[in-house]
Amino acid sequence: MVDIDELDRQLIHALQLDGRAPFSRIAEILDVSDQTVARRYRRLRSADLLRVVAVPPAGYLAHGRWVLRLRCAPGAALSVAEALARRDDTAWVQLASGGTEVQCITRASTPDEAEHLLLDRLPRTNRIVDVAAHSVLHVFYGSPSPIRLLDALTPEQAAALNPHPEFVADPADIPQCSADDRPLLDVLARDGRTALPDLAAETGWSASTVRRRVEHLRALGALHFYAEFDLRLVGLNHSTRLWMTVTPSDLDAAGRALATHPEVVFAAATSGNTNLSATVLCRDPHDLYRYLTGRVAALPGVTHVETTPVIRNLKRLGRLLH
């Protein structure tokens, strides 16, 4: 892995707060030159350790999300995960549970696709021995919110960079995506820092129209920018998904409480034999143990918790990770 220093970590933290912040603005806050910030970003980007991607909410671009758990025969999980990662409708493709399980999120782009997604488009192999599909019913916390365990910037630097955090709208208040926006969103999903002239060339709009549209979508809560990076670069070496069973009367309270935990980067109520799922980040197994026996143990109504440690990310929100 490429060696990084504190300035690299500060850049990662800054882009988590505002993925399209001009390098000149980041440089001013970090008290370095514009060229230094641009050079550091290009170095991490070329090594595929850092990238910025656009993240519309699921209800804006997609017609339903599912969290899949695919239990595989010994030696088969990697090939299944690689096949899933190549698909456009997947995100967060991960090897878990010692390499015997593949977990991912699928997103249907049309109502018809949602009906046939699970049956027709899974990898066809007899080496998948069990599939559990959990429909995402309600998201308590997740992208685009920045990872809250990052601490490379001081509170004053973070506030100067992002004094007005992006609006997180209620999904029910966000309209469906306009067909006119798809080319813009497709480009930003590949590279959230694509310059305005290049976005104009891809969409056929003027640069000023692109700028106004991006600003409008961000204000609407329909577009956020997320910096994805190798978590080990910032000392977060232990990623785990929790599968919890919560009594229905306590589900909303437990989900809301879970969403306040700094370790949590995604939490949602789901269908299935467990009804609350979360992804947590810790620095090591000892931190995870303290988290499970502390904050998780205090959640209301939890009757069962299963942990599946993630051993490898093949795909996050953007394209394949190499």
Residue 312, pLDDT above cutoff 60: yes
244 occurs within a structural domain: yes
Q: Strand (E) positions, the chain?
A: 50-55, 65-72, 90-96, 101-107, 128-141, 224-229, 238-246, 264-270, 276-282, 302-315
Q: Which stretch, 87-96, 157-166, 254-263, has highest mean pLDDT? A: 254-263
Token readout for 139 is 């998201």
Which of 197, 220, 243 terminates a domain? The answer is: 220
- Two structure tokens written together for 316: 């996050």
Q: Is the dihedral of CA 146, 150, 152, 156 positive or negative?
A: positive
pLDDT the model gives residue 174 = 65
CB-based contacts of 162: which residues, under 8 Å, 6+ apart? 17, 18
Is residue 108 included in any domain, yes or no?
yes
Are 314 and 82 contacting, i.e. CB atoms less than 8 angstroms apart? Answer: yes
Residue 18 covered by a domain? no
The residue with greater pLDDT, 255 or 164, is 255
Same domain, 130 and 181: no
Phi, psi of 288 (to 5 degrees): -65, -45
d(CA 273, CA 151): 36
Residue 235 lies in a domain: yes
- In the chain, the percentage of residues whose pLDDT exceeds 70 is 84
Place of tokens 């409480």: 257
Measured over the CA atoms of residue 107, residue 113, residue 117 and residue 120, the dihedral's sign is negative
The answer, yes or no, to whether residue 59 has pLDDT greater than 90, is no
The per-residue pLDDT for 121 is 61
Measured over the CA atoms of residue 181, residue 182, residue 183 and residue 188, the dihedral's sign is positive
Q: Check: CB of residue 208 under 8 Å from CB of residue 245.
A: no
The better pLDDT of the pair 119, 19 is held by 19
Mean pLDDT of the chain: 86
> How many structural domains compose the chain?
3
Which of the residue ranges 101-105, 126-130, 180-184 has the most confident prediction, judged by mean pLDDT? 101-105
> Per residue in 122-148, pLDDT tens?
666 678 888 898 998 988 875 555 688
Looking at the domain assignment, is residue 110 inside a domain? yes
Q: Tell me the sheet residues that pair with 198.
A: none
**pLDDT computed for residue 306 by the predictor:** 96
In this prediction, residue 151 has a pLDDT band, given cuts at 50, 70 and 90, of: confident
Confidence class for position 322, pLDDT limits 50, 70, 90 = very low
Helix (H) or strand (E) segment spanning residue 80: helix 77-85
Expressed as residue numbers, the domain containing 254 is 141-145+230-315
DSSP one-letter code for 258: H
Same domain, 236 and 296: yes
The CA dihedral of 294, 297, 300, 304, to the nearest 10 degrees, is 160
Q: Which helix (H) or strand (E) holds 155?
A: helix 155-161
CA distance 242 to 274: 10
User: Which pTM does this prediction carry?
Assistant: 0.82
Residues 80, 123: one domain? Answer: yes
Confidence (pLDDT) at 239: 93
212 & 237 share domain: no
| Percent of the chain's residues with pLDDT above 90 | 52
Q: Which residue(s) pair with 96 in the sheet?
A: 101, 310
Residue 32 falls inside a structural domain = no
State yes or no: pLDDT of 253 exceeds 60: yes
The CA R_g of the chain, rounded to the nearest whole Å, is: 20
Residue 161 confidence class, pLDDT cut points 50, 70, 90: confident
For the record, the structure tokens of 152 come out as: 């490379």
Whether 245 is in a domain gets the answer yes
- Domain-embedded: residue 216: yes
List helix spans (H) across 221-272: 251-258
The domain that contains 113 carries what CATH number? 3.30.70.920
Inform me whether the pLDDT recorded for 152 exceeds 60. Answer: yes
Q: Which residue has the higher pLDDT, 133 or 176?
A: 133
Are residues 216 and 238 both part of a single domain? no
The label of the residue with tokens 């025969």 reads 73
What length does the chain have? Answer: 322
**Residues 114, 106: Cα–Cα separation, whole Å:** 10
Q: How confident is the model at residue 169 (pLDDT cuts 50, 70, 90)?
A: low
Contact 29/160 with Cβ under 8 angstroms? yes
Asked if 282 and 237 sit in the same domain, the reply is yes
